[in-house]
Structure formats: structure tokens, C-alpha cells
Structure 1
Amino acid sequence: MRALRLLALAAFFPVAGFAQDAQTLADIRAEIAALQAEFNALKSELVSTGAAATGVAGGDALQRMDAIEAALMRLTGKTEEVELKLNRVVADGTNRIGDLEFRLCELEEGCDIAALGDTAPLGGAGGGAVAPIAPVVTDPASGGAVAGGPELAIGEQADFDRAKEVLGQGDFRTAADLFATFTQSYPGGPLTQEAHYLRGDALSQVGDTAGAARSYLEAFSGQPSGPQAAPALLKLGQALGALGQTPEACVTLQEVGTRFPGSAEAASAASAMAGLGCT
């Protein structure tokens, strides 16, 4: 029975391990290590009891065990390969975002390049395999988070609603300031990405295109798979185009279609690329 279980696990593991679920690469490597330990124990048991030599475990038992061991080694190698590729993607994405931040700072009045600091790794402070971010459950009537979603800090919803109300009243500069204060007060909160995104909209309305682009970039880079990621990336690309940064705009708009294929944002990005003459 233990041999059958090992065979079943070895056959199922490539599908389960690399599916887009809550497992991280660290979880996968830990499971492979546990499976390898159990395999070694079973192989030692067969050899020590003489079952392999007497045929009690079935003909050519050791040959089958060797085949399983080879499969486990291949799985370990594939896992390490995926981890290396993921780390390269994170590093490349982080470098690109850092370059955009530098370029936007050059265009933004009063921005101190020396104060930018290091760019946070794409997808989270830890980089690499990042656990999925819990979705924000919203109330259609209020547009805010409700029970069942991530827990809000005291005053967080009220501060967000106040900034959003001011935005709706057309006081865009004040709204931008309120959203800026909100993101500083509640970094990493469930409403922070939307606050960055709406601040970008407010700054766009007052003609601060560089500031708007920075806000859209912060909205996307802080949560690349979040609910506002696609529209933030789209508007970032459009803002870069408006700033005359055509090559960067084309790359960013192309990324919208790559990350969010079939979405309304992907269609809008394709139209924007055509308008910019992207090749």
C-alpha cells in the first residue's frame, strides 16, 4: 500500500504542485522532501526485510523503486527551475518599476530623486513566490469593504469614504491630498490600492499627469493581481504616452494585454497602442 501511495503521489504531484492555488514554491519543496524521506524509508524496509530479493513485494521491486526515485529527482529539479525563473521575473519587474519611478520623478516638479529609495520587490516585500492576496468584499451600496473581507483599521473606511466623497464633489486637489494621506496612514490596507488609483484620477483632473502616473504605478506595483491592477496599468500606460514617454508607454500598454487578456482594459490598451504608433 505504501508503494502504491508513492506511485500515486508521484503521478499527481506535477499537476497539484504547479497549479495556481495557495501553495508556494516553499510548500512544494517541503512536500517533495517529505515524499523523498518516505520513499527512502520504504526502500530501506524492502532491502532490510529481504522482500525485494524474495519477490514478496512483486517482481523487479527495486527497479520500480529506482524509477520512482528518478521521478522525484526530476520533480526537485523542475521545482528549482521554476523558482529561478520566478525570481528572475520578480527581479526584472522590480527593475522596470524602479526605472519608471525614476523617470516619473524627473518629470514631476519638486520630486527628489535621492529620496526615492529602493523599489519594493514586485508583488510584495518578500518577492519570489507570493501567497494570493485575499479579495476585498465590497458593499455595492457604499463601495466599501464589508464583513467577510480583510479587516479594516479603525477609521479606515470613514477616511476613504470622505476622500471619495470629495472626489465626487469635483474638488480634485483636496481629494488627491486626502487619498495621499490615506495611503500613508493605512499602507497595505484592503482599500489602499483603490486609494492610489483614485488619487491618480484626481491628479489627472488637475493636469498633474506625472503625479497621476506615479499613483497608478503605486496602485499596480503594490498589488499586481488586485481588483484595480488592470485599470491602473492601463492608465499608467496612457499617462506615459501623454508625457511623451512613448517607448515606456508601449511596453506598459502591451503588458495590459499580456496580464489581463480578454479584458476591457486589454481592448482599450490595444487602441491606445495604435494611437501611439506602437509596433
Structure 2
Amino acid sequence: MIRLSVLLLWFGAFAAPAFAQDETIADIRAELAALAADLQALRAELVSSGQAGMQAAGGASALDRMNAMEAEIVRLTSVTEALQNKVDRVVADGTNRIGDLEFRLCELEEGCDISSLPVTATLGGGAPAPGPVTPAPAAPTASQPELAANEQADFDRAKAAYEDGNFQGAADLFAAFTETYTGGPLTGEAHFMRGEALAQTGAISAAARAYLEAFSGQPDGPVAAQSLLRLGQSLGQLGQLQEACVTLAEVGARFPGSASVAEAQATMQNLGCQ
């Protein structure tokens, strides 16, 4: 039976050790559901074909193979559900931690109204796809969002103010940039640079909030590791040692190949983190 052969090939490919990198858990679960439905339909077709059809498919061994395939589908479905639950817990925990940091930083920042804090966005939710580590070029690429009109020029203007030593002016320009180009390809770096500018003015609490926004908006973005490092260092400067140590430890855990790891470890040693 041709259909049985096709299904066996599909199942063999699907149950391979690694799935396609661009597949999500939801995609995998949908494929498993479709595969289970096809298997049920094939079983019904085989049974209805009678003895001649059963013999043509390989006899009783055909049903044995279907039973084994069905058991494997059940197992894989269970694995994907457990993985989804684990991802959901990690996201919820990360989101709660970011919300707690936002609350603590607001307490430390003069003039910050805790009641006006927005609901913390889900970690990584709606974030643009990670871009390259190098600064985004003016011309878009296939894997990079297209820059809005004047976006690169506005970013360069703010960066020039920073390089000229006009740190408060740069902080204001980067703040305006993030409001104008929310979710753009340069927004994460703009939050980070705003943090760098504010740190130069001595506004450590405000700088920490900027680093937190840079990381939470793009937790896998081009400046995520640096943002998490600077956030941890800022928390240490603010006397929030426990939060600083936890944050700095996350740099190595999340970005093991990053150049920021060594600096994070050195800072942890200086702070006396256990």
C-alpha cells in the first residue's frame, strides 16, 4: 500500500533526533496531531480492506507497526507538552523577576510613581527576531526588519551627542528615539545607550531601568548580554547586592560565549557574590 509507505517515511523523518530549527513547539504538536489523525484513518482503511488488503500490507505485522507508531506519537506528544509547560514556567518566572526589578528600581528612583508602572510585558513577547551582533546597516537584509524613515539618522544623532560628551542630551535623544520607533531594529540598542548616557550623569537608578528595558524587550538581541551585565553592575552600585549577584550570574548562564561573561564574573567577585 503506497499510503502506508508514505506514512512510514513521514514518521521516520518526524521522529529523527532533531527537528527543523525554525519549528516551534506549537508546530510540532500540530504535526503530531495530524500524524495521529492520518494513522487512525489508515488503520480504518486497512481494516475495511478485508483479508486481501491486510495480506497486501504485510499481514498482522502491519497492525503491529501501526500500534508501535501510535505509542510513539503518544510519547512524543507527552514530551512536547512537558516542554511547553517548562517554557511557560521559565517565561513566567523571567517576567515576574523583571517586574520585581522594575518595582525595586522605581522605589530607588526619585519621582517615580509606583502606581503608574505599566504591566510588565511577557518576557520576549512580541520582540523582534534577534539581529546580528554588529550594528544594523541602513539597508535591510532578508533577516532584518527594514528601518523606518529617518530612524538611522535619529539614532546616529543621539549617538553623536553621547560621543561628544553631551550625556544628558544623548539620554534625552535616545529616550525620544525609543518612543518614536518602538519595537524597531535599533530600539534595544537605543535603550542600552540611554542607560550608558544616564550612567555617565550619575543617574544609576534610571540607567538600570534603561538596561532592564533593553534586555526585557529583546532578551536574545544583539545587546542583551551587555544590557544584563550593566543591569547587574548598576544594581550593585545601588546596594541591591542579592539582585545584582543573581542578575550577573544570569549573564554566564544565558550567554556562555559572550565577552560579557568575564566582566560579569569579575564584578561578582568584587561584590562578594557566593
Per the TM superposition, whether the score is higher than 0.5 is yes
The answer (yes or no) to whether the contact 1:17–1:23 under 8 Å persists in 2 is no
The answer (yes or no) to whether the contact 2:195–2:211 under 8 Å persists in 1 is yes
The answer (yes or no) to whether the contact 1:138–1:145 under 8 Å persists in 2 is no
Deviation at 1:264, TM superposition (A): 1.3
**Deviation string, structure 1 residues 9-33 (Cα, Å, up to 9, x no partner):** 33443557756x2222221121112
Q: Which amino acid aligns with 1:210?
A: S
- Could you tell me the TM-score, scaled by structure 2's length? 0.92
1:208-223 to structure 2, matched below 5 A, reads: 208-223=203-218
The answer (yes or no) to whether the contact 1:210–1:239 under 8 Å persists in 2 is yes
Q: Please say if 1:267 is aligned against 2:262.
A: yes
Aligned length: 270
Partner residue, 1:5: 6
Q: Percent identity?
A: 60
Structure 1 alignment gaps of length 5 or more: none
Q: C-alpha separation between the residues in 1 aligned to 2:52 and 2:218?
A: 54
**Deviation string, structure 1 residues 73-105 (Cα, Å, up to 9, x no partner):** 111111111111111111000000000000000
Structure 2 alignment gaps of length 5 or more: none
The answer (yes or no) to whether the contact 2:130–2:222 under 8 Å persists in 1 is no
Deviation at 1:3, TM superposition (A): 2.8
Deviation at 1:134, TM superposition (A): 5.0
Q: Please say if 1:238 is aligned against 2:233.
A: yes
User: Could you tell which deviates more after superposition, 3-12 or 107-116?
Assistant: 3-12
- Could you tell me the TM-score, scaled by structure 1's length? 0.90
1:1-279 to structure 2, matched below 5 A, reads: 1-15=2-16, 21-50=21-50, 54-59=54-59, 60-125=61-126, 133=129, 135=131, 144-148=137-141, 149-279=144-274
Show structure 1 runs of 4+ deviating over 4 A.
Answer: 14-19, 51-54, 136-139
Q: Which amino acid aligns with 1:90?
A: V
User: Could you tell which deviates more after superposition, 181-190 or 58-67?
Assistant: 58-67
Aligned-partner SS, 1:109: coil
User: Could you tell which deviates more after superposition, 240-249 or 44-53?
Assistant: 44-53
The answer (yes or no) to whether the contact 1:10–1:72 under 8 Å persists in 2 is no
Cα gap change, 1:52 to 1:191, in 2 (>3 Å): farther
Deviation at 1:144, TM superposition (A): 4.1
User: Could you tell which deviates more after superposition, 1-10 or 250-259?
Assistant: 1-10
Aligned-partner SS, 1:55: helix
The answer (yes or no) to whether the contact 1:52–1:62 under 8 Å persists in 2 is no
Q: C-alpha separation between the residues in 2 aligned to 1:31 and 1:190?
A: 32
Deviation at 1:234, TM superposition (A): 0.6
